[in-house]
Amino acid sequence: MPESQPAGGIVYLPFPTRDSTGAPSAISGGSAVVYKNGNSTESSAGITLTPSFDAEVGQNLVTIDTSADGAFYVNGGQFWCKIKGTVASVSVLDTISFDLAVAIRDVRLADGVAHGGTPGSSTATLAVQAVNVTNNSASPALTIFNTAGPAVMLATNDSSGAMLVSSNGDGPAIEIQGYGRGGTFPVIQINSPGDNQAVIDIEAGIGGSALLLSGGSSGGGDAVKIIAPNNGHGINILAVGTGKKALLLAGDAATDALAIAAGAGTPINVLNADGTVNLDSLPAIATDWLTAAGVKADAVTKIQTGLATPTNITAASGVALSASGLNAITATVPSAVATTFPAMVVQLWWRFFGKTVKATSGTTVKTYASDGATLITTQTFADDGLGNETLNKAS
């Protein structure tokens, strides 16, 4: 079996072909597929069969680019390649096994190694005081894989940390990535061992960041996603000590300390337990907290429009009409019999101080507009000859 290679890389499987006499002989019509973990599902992606490699008859090479089928070729899998073809007019079939796992190029154990229990059993233990894992390739230096339980468990019995990780260069001390195969499993899951114990305690040195979170460069992912458990809090920040701040957000001259933006929803939504909106717990706005510079121009325009729009006052205590308030009522002379109260008042005034003609020949009373020619209303009247006149409804 060839040496294990990491998933995503190239696997080379050389194999010879000979005739019935044992002499090297070329393979023709050859094909190759790969099976995984005893399953009959096969993959032919990324496989190249080269007969008589390097012009050497009978020396053949199967090259497998495992990045061509990332869902099939994964670290920890057991694979075998089935090769079929014809050699010296005889059909042949052969298999070559290989594993995919991260290659450890250089592992040095120093200062003592102790183990107990039965090697390979659940009771086996390994105590290592110093381990240095280095790798000069682009592949991970170490992969620990477990299909049933935790791949690694770190514990300590004293006040020191179970693991100390530090970086001496510009890169991260720990970089953790998921395999990208989908599903609902987290890349990291950390559970507290007991009540009132911190799951993570992060402290930063001078000029450093205690925690730096960033989303993927290609977008579409969350830098932080917090889901609250039943009867718990997604985030609970508690300040201890007088004058301490539970949360301090500070931006430099070019950035925001906190920016909250919503898509189709509400940027901040405060809800009761039954899902109804609750704003009672929001703090009161301090005096002079809202400034003109903090109000958008379109909001100011809407406020001004609302103030300028007349509103009918039906009932209001302490409201009185000013001395010139009636002057705001339009005093246009109506062009027919008035139907509104302001027009009725104007028409009444115009009846006595505008042009009015009483014609005995037609027994009519007519009112005219300010031009003296445009007829506005007409009323007929009757005289019973005894000095009694009846003025009928205007039209």
What CATH number is attached to the domain comprising 53? 2.60.40
User: What is the mean pLDDT for each group of 10 consecutive residues in the chain (395 residues)?
Assistant: 76 92 92 92 94 94 93 89 93 87 41 43 48 56 62 64 64 60 56 61 65 60 67 70 74 68 63 68 71 81 78 69 78 84 84 83 85 88 83 85
**Class of residue 22 by CB neighbours under 10 A (exposed 0-12, middle 13-18, buried 19+):** exposed
Asked whether residue 374 is assigned to any structural domain, the reply reads: yes
Residue 84 falls inside a structural domain = yes
**pLDDT score recorded for residue 26:** 93
Is 41 part of any domain? Answer: yes
- Domain endpoint, select from 72, 99, 126: 99
- Identify the three-state secondary structure at position 69: helix
Q: Tell me the HSE value of 181 on the side-chain side, using a 13 A CA sphere.
A: 9
In a domain, residue 155? The reply is no
Domain assignment present for residue 170? The answer is: no
Cβ(16)–Cβ(45) below 8 Å: no
The reply to whether 148 falls in a domain is: no
- Tell me the torsion sign for CA atoms 285, 290, 296, 299: positive
Domain that holds residue 39: 10-99
Whole-model pTM: value is: 0.31
Q: For residues 58 and 241, what is the distance between their CA atoms, to the nearest angstrom? A: 79
**Pairing, β 364-368 against β 375-383:** antiparallel
Cα–Cα distance, 17 to 52 (Å, whole number): 9
User: N- to C-terminal Cα distance for the chain?
Assistant: 114
3-state helix vs strand vs coil in the chain, percent to 5: 10, 25, 65
Residue 123 lies in a domain: no
Q: Which of 99, 126, 156 is the last residue of a domain?
A: 99
The answer to whether the beta carbons of residues 330 and 342 sit under 8 Å apart is yes
DSSP result, 136-150: -SSS-S-----SSS-
What sections of the chain are H helices per DSSP? 297-308, 341-353
- Domain-embedded: residue 26: yes
Q: How many domains are there within the chain?
A: 2
Sheet holding 27-36, edge to edge: 39-43, 27-36, 78-87, 90-99
Contact (Cβ atoms closer than 8 angstroms) between residue 102 and residue 141:
yes
Instruction: Name the residue among 21, 54, 42 with its Cα closest to residue 84.
Output: 42
Domain boundary among 49, 66, 99: 99
